[in-house]
DNA sequence: ACAAGGTGTCATCTT
DNA sequence: TGAAGATGACACCTT
């Protein structure tokens, strides 16, 4: 935040003219009028050596023309509640012997029928054997409550549906479902190549669920009944609707129960065995082909969203994302870390020999890729920066040139390629000038203007036959501004030492020589600039690492999201299957109910009600609707 | 001519 | 308190 504030002051860039503070007060920097635009030397460091015992800018003065090359110029959801059952229980009587419940006050009380759950199960087992492994919610009524039927026409509502199945309530937020699925598709479109996306809208080969199913990219998915028929093949799979306790409920054979006459059991069996289970999801009266107690058909609100084919395709997509993406992207990411930044913090790349090796004891091993947090990356980078970049530039002193050439030739540098790439497009040019490899860190605009005028690299031929003079000249051109100044001021040691020596050694070094104020000032400036230059490089490295880490985090999160969506879809799919099974059970039981005259009950007048204790009751539709409405209100109230 | 990216430098803040 | 490091901002350069 403070930095943002600072930016206001330097908004125009410590913009030369606006950088007043100590600079302007001290007058050591002269803000050049705009008449000297674009000139890097518009504000220039003037190191007159105005005694800078302390590192105070106010002591700087306009630089004398110590370097004649330096140009003059100034510087410077879901609700599975069982409350419906509880509510219902308040209106029910409990059979003292059987424990079964039946409505206490219902017109036409003799029609109230409570079915033994065991009987129901037995009934259903005849046609639909249960699996053993399926998990099922304990609260049966809540399951029924969740059976969707929202899209059925109002007129068709009073059908063979659970009384809690109202036409208005859907346990799923369809909009949310759609958004999730669209999200998956978006991700797929984002991360998977087009070939994969083709899979999205075409049936996967060999997928029996989707052979009769095709999706258009922008077409809402339709419910295809035969799809479920194929997928479920009766109710043979994983069907353990009721708990063992429920199954062990006492058999109700009393007069309170209406006889369950399997009058049409054969037809039921045949019908049920090949029943279109998708149809079981829906009210029976929609199914005109079935008898009046079986074969309902309703649009499945989930069917459009959770169609088997689509689910499989989503899984494929996610798989492609996860499996296809990971290795490639990861390797790409690694390459980025290693090459793109070109600034690996790994000190294993650090030079084994540094001109500034006095301070290389601080060298520490660090790896940007191993640190997921930018902070750790930052610290490691900082700790290794000295040794890593100790050899950067600033080696111009002619007296030690040979030494530095040797040093430069030894080891450098992790950033060598990058800097060479930046400053010299052709590395071969450097390879034939090994003593120049550190020069790549100097920008040509740091060079003296005269050097800038002829900054072009000498043609290879010229270099070939180049005399030592020419080489020296060329080397001279590559020297930084500070190096030129240091040479001009006859600083008796290398810029490299000036920059990289620890404070104590640095002060010791200074004390060894008799230096003028101008020289001391220049030395301190060189040190300050050199350190700041390395700091800036490290700062940029860290910034880059941070960006890369964030990118990686984003990719990880996207993968997580895709996985969670996939799991959600799987859950929804199994939920739908369970609902279908519950619905089929419902129809089966209801279809076998007979009144005292041996006639089937009309689904428009009666409905089965699952009680909380596991019993099943036959109650009038009106009561069932009331309870369903009451049930419906509760989640809405809760939402508010 | 213009944009983008790299680099050096400064001012300022933080450690 | 001073040294060193970190960082935003700017100018300049190269591509």
- Span A234-284, pLDDT tens digits: 333 333 333 333 333 333 333 333 333 333 333 333 333 333 333 333 333
Mean pLDDT of A562-591: 94
The residue lying closest to nucleotide C7, measuring its CA against C1', is A539
Q: Which nucleotide is nearest to A452 (CA to C1')?
A: C13
Q: How confident is the model at residue A513 (pLDDT cuts 50, 70, 90)?
A: confident
Partners of residue A322 on adjacent β-strands: none
Residue A571: per-residue pLDDT: 97
Residue A632 has pLDDT above 80, yes or no: yes
User: What are A317-368's pLDDT values in tens digits?
Assistant: 444 444 333 433 433 433 333 333 333 333 333 333 333 333 333 333 333 3
Å separating the CA of residue A418 from the C1' of nucleotide B5: 12
Residue A52: per-residue pLDDT: 32
Q: How confident is the model at residue A460 (pLDDT cuts 50, 70, 90)?
A: very low
The residue lying closest to nucleotide C9, measuring its CA against C1', is A13
pLDDT > 70: percent of chain A? 24
In 10 A of CB A545, how many CB atoms?
25
Tell if A543 CB is < 7 Å from nucleic strand B.
Answer: no
Q: Which nucleotide is nearest to A422 (CA to C1')?
A: B6
Alpha helix ranges (H) inside A593-640: 621-639
Residue found by looking up tokens 């039981």 in the block: A589
Tell if A472 CB is < 7 Å from nucleic strand C.
Answer: no
Mean pLDDT of A44-60: 33
Residue A517 has pLDDT above 70, yes or no: yes
- Top pLDDT among A634 and A4 is at A634
d(CA A284, CA A602): 11
Q: Are A303 and A596 in contact (CB under 8 A)?
A: no
- Spatial CB neighbours of A541, under 8 Å, sequence gap ≥ 6: A341, A343, A345, A368, A381
| DSSP code of residue A31 | P
Mean pLDDT of A311-315: 44
Residue A614 has pLDDT above 60, yes or no: yes
Residue A473: per-residue pLDDT: 60
pLDDT > 90: percent of chain A? 4
Residue A501: per-residue pLDDT: 84
Residue A521 has pLDDT above 70, yes or no: yes
User: What are A495-512's pLDDT values in tens digits?
Assistant: 888 888 888 888 888 888
Q: Which residues of A246-260 are buried (b: 16+ CB within 10 A; e: fewer)?
A: bbebeebeeebbbeb
Residue found by looking up tokens 């799979």 in the block: A237
Q: Are A190 and A267 in contact (CB under 8 A)?
A: no
- Top pLDDT among A574 and A318 is at A574
Helix (H) / strand (E) containing A179: helix A174-191
Residue found by looking up tokens 């409920």 in the block: A249
Mean pLDDT of A409-436: 32
**DSSP characters over A417-451:** HHHHHHH-S-HHHHHT-GGGGGGGGS-GGGS-HHH
**DSSP characters over A218-284:** TSPPPP-HHHHHHHHTTT-SS---S-HHHHTSPP--STTSPPB--TTHHHHHHHHHT--HHHHTS-G
Mean pLDDT of A440-450: 35
The residue lying closest to nucleotide C3, measuring its CA against C1', is A503
Tell if A481 CB is < 7 Å from nucleic strand B.
Answer: yes
d(CA A470, CA A540): 36
- Top pLDDT among A170 and A427 is at A170
Q: How confident is the model at residue A637 (pLDDT cuts 50, 70, 90)?
A: low
Residue A563: per-residue pLDDT: 97
Tell me which nucleotides of strand C come within 7 A of a protein CB: 2-15
Q: How confident is the model at residue A544 (pLDDT cuts 50, 70, 90)?
A: confident
- Top pLDDT among A600 and A308 is at A600
Q: How confident is the model at residue A381 (pLDDT cuts 50, 70, 90)?
A: very low
Q: Give CA separation, A266 vs A120, A584, A625, in Å.
A: 16, 16, 32
Q: Which nucleotide is nearest to A456 (CA to C1')?
A: C14
User: What are A367-376's pLDDT values in tens digits?
Assistant: 333 333 333 3
Å separating the CA of residue A496 from the C1' of nucleotide B12: 26
Tokens of A468: 């030592």
Residue A97 has pLDDT above 90, yes or no: no
Å separating the CA of residue A603 from the C1' of nucleotide B11: 84
Return the beta strands (E) in A511-577 as ranges. Answer: none
- Helix then strand count (H, E) for chain A reads 25, 5
């Amino acid at each position: 935040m403070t930095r943002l504030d600072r930016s206001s002051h330097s908004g125009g860039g410590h913009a030369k003219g606006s950088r007043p503070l100590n600079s302007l007060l001290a007058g050591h920097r002269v803000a050049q009028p705009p008449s000297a635009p674009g000139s890097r030397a518009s504000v220039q460091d003037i190191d007159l050596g105005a005694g800078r015992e302390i590192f105070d800018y106010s002591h700087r003065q306009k630089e004398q023309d110590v370097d004649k090359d330096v140009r003059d110029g100034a510087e410077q959801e879901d609700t599975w509640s069982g409350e419906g059952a509880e509510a219902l229980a308040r209106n029910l009587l409990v059979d003292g012997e059987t424990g079964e419940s039946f409505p206490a006050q219902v017109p036409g009380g003799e029609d109230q029928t409570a079915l033994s759950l065991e009987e129901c199960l037995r009934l259903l087992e005849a046609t639909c054997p249960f699996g053993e492994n399926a998990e099922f919610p304990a609260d049966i009524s809540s399951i029924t409550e969740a059976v969707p039927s929202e899209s059925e026409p109002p007129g068709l509502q009073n059908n063979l549906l659970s009384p809690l199945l109202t036409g208005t309530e859907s346990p799923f937020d369809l909009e949310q479902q759609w958004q999730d699925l669209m999200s998956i598709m978006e991700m797929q479109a984002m991360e998977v190549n087009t070939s994969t996306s083709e899979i999205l809208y075409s049936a996967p080969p060999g997928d029996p669920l989707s052979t009769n199913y095709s999706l258009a990219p922008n077409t809402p998915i339709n419910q295809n009944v035969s799809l479920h028929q194929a997928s479920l093949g009766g109710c043979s799979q994983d069907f353990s609707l009721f708990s063992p306790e429920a199954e062990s409920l006492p058999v109700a054979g009393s007069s309170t129960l209406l006889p369950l006459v399997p009058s049409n059991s054969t037809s039921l069996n045949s019908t049920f065995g090949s029943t279109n289970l998708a149809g079981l999801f829906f009210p029976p009266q929609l199914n005109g082909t079935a008898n009046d107690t079986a074969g309902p058909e309703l649009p499945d609100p989930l069917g459009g969203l959770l169609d088997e084919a689509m689910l499989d395709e989503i899984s494929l997509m996610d798989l492609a994302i996860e499996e296809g993406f990971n290795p490639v992207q990861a390797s790409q990411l690694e390459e980025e870390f290693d090459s793109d930044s070109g600034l690996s913090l790994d000190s294993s790349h650090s030079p084994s020999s540094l001109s500034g090796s006095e301070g290389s004891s601080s060298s520490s091993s660090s790896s940007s890729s191993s640190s997921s947090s930018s902070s750790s990356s930052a610290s490691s980078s900082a700790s290794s920066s000295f040794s890593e970049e100790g050899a950067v530039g600033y080696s111009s002193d002619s007296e030690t040139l040979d030494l530095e050439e040797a040093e430069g030739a030894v080891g450098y540098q992790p950033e060598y390629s990058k800097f060479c790439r930046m400053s010299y497009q052709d590395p071969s040019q450097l390879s034939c000038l090994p003593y120049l490899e550190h020069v790549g860190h100097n920008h040509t605009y740091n060079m003296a203007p005269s050097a800038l005028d002829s900054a072009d690299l000498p043609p290879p031929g010229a270099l070939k036959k180049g005399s030592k003079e020419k080489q020296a000249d060329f080397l001279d051109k590559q020297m930084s501004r500070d190096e030129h100044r240091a040479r001009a001021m006859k600083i008796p040691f290398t810029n490299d030492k000036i920059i990289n020596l620890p404070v104590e050694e640095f002060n010791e070094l200074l004390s060894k020589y008799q230096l003028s104020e101008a020289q001391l000032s220049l030395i301190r400036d060189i040190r300050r600039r050199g350190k700041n230059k390395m700091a800036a490089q490290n700062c940029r490295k860290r910034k880059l690492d941070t960006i890369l880490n964030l990118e990686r985090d984003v990719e990880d999160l996207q993968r997580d999201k895709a996985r969670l969506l996939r799991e959600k879809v799987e859950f929804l799919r199994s939920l739908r299957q369970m609902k279908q099974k519950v619905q089929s059970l419902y129809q089966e039981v209801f279809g076998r109910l007979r009144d005292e005259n041996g006639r089937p009950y009309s689904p428009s007048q009666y409905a089965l009600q699952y009680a909380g204790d596991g019993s099943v009751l036959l109650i009038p539709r009106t009561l069932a609707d009331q309870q369903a409405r009451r049930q419906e209100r509760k989640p809405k109230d809760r939402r508010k």
